[in-house]
Amino acid sequence: MIHFVLLISRQGKVRLTKWYSTYTQKERTKVIRELSGVILTRGPKLCNFVEWRGFKVVYKRYASLYFCMCIDQDDNELEILEIIHHYVEILDRYFGSVCELDLIFNFHKAYYILDEILIAGELQESSKKTVARLIAAQDSLVETAKEQASSISNIIAQATK
């Protein structure tokens, strides 16, 4: 199973963290510091796997972002690479040629998309189309709610409460 997912920029800035196993806040910081030290220093033409504390970390760089997933010893690295690619493709489709800025400003959306792909550290949806549809449906739910909330009548109602 996947223990955590990290997105780290080339400069070592963390863009997304998702933990499927229990880590305290302190451990999280430590893990990220350690791993970014290992991964960011690796050259471009090396393999995408790092052995780390009895786990394996599979990472792949897309543009300026490193997508990292930590897995168990007997998990399949190539499968994880495909999951990472799957995620990137879905992000790309959702944001329209995604770039780091999209993820910076829509960090919660990146989470929601990830939540549709992985659950409890396992892949749950392998169809890009389905994920896109699900995300769109949830977005529209959120939008209608927002519209209601920000409508003038609502604000007035609140103000006069």
Partner 1 sequence: MSGPSLMDSLFQRTLEDLIKGLRQQLIGEQAFISKALEEIRKEIKSTDLSTKSTALLKLSYLSSLHFHDMSFATFHALEVLSSPRFSHKKIAYHGISLSFHDSTPVLLLITNHLRKDLTSTNEFEVSLSLQCLSRIANVDLARDLTPEVFILLSSNKLYVRKKAIAVVLRVFEKYPDSVRVCFKRLVENLENSDPQILSAVVGVFCELACKDARSYLPLAPEFYKILVNSKNNWILIKVLKIFTKLASLEPRLAKRVVEPICDHMRRTGAKSLLFECVQTVVTSLSEYDSAVRLAVGKIREFLVDEDPNLKYLGLRALSIVAPKHLWAVSENKEVVIKSLSDADPNIKIGSLRLVMAMVSEHSVAEISRVLVNYALKSDPEFCNEILGSILSTCSRNLYEIIVDFDWYVSLLGEMSKIPHCQKGEEIENQLIDIGMRVKDVRPELVHVSRDLLIDPALLGNTFLHRVLSAAAWASGEYVEFSRNPLELMEALLQPRTCLLPPHIRAIYIQSAFKVLVFCLSTYLMQWGSTASSASPDNLRSGVSASVSYESFDNLSVENGADATVTRGQTYTSASITNESILNLLNLVELALGPLFESPDVEVQERARNVLGFIDLTKLELLNSSVQGEKDLERRGVECSKTIELMHDAFSKELGPVSLSAQGKVYLPDGLMLVENLVGMEMICADIEPPSSNLFSFGIPYEEKDGVSFSNLQIEADSEESNEATSLLAEHRKRHGLYYLPLGKSEIISNDYPPANDPTLQGNINDNADDLVKLTEESLVPKRKSNHAKPRPVVVKLDEVDAKPVGVKKAEYKDDSLSGAVRDFLYGMKDMVPTSSQSNLPGKASSKRKGKEKQHTDPHVETKGNLVDYGNPSSRRRKHRSHGKERKHRSAREKNAEEREDTGQKEKEKSSYCHGRHKSRQRAEEPLNVSAQTTVIPDFLL
Tell me if 72 contacts partner 1 by CB under 8 A. Answer: yes
Amino acid (one-letter) located at 116 = E
φ/ψ of 113, rounded to 5, equals: -65, -45
Tell me which residue of 132, 133, 121 sits closest to 3, measured CA to CA.
Answer: 121
By CB under 8 A, which span of 63-71, 87-95, 103-111 interacts with partner 1? 103-111
| Burial class (CB within 10 angstroms; exposed 0-12, middle 13-18, buried 19+) of 41 | exposed
Contact criterion met (CB below 8 Å) for 109 and 90? no
Coil, strand or helix at 40: helix
With CB under 8 A as the contact rule, the residue among 37, 119, 129, 136 that binds partner 1 is 119
Residues 2-61 interacting with partner 1 (rule: CB under 8 A)? 14-17, 19-20, 22, 24-25, 28-29, 43, 45-51
The residue ranges that bind partner 1 (CB under 8 A) are 1, 14-17, 19-20, 22, 24-25, 28-29, 43, 45-51, 72, 74, 76-79, 81-82, 104-105, 107-108, 111-112, 115, 119-120, 122-127, 130, 134, 137-138, 141-142, 145-146, 149, 155, 158-159, 161
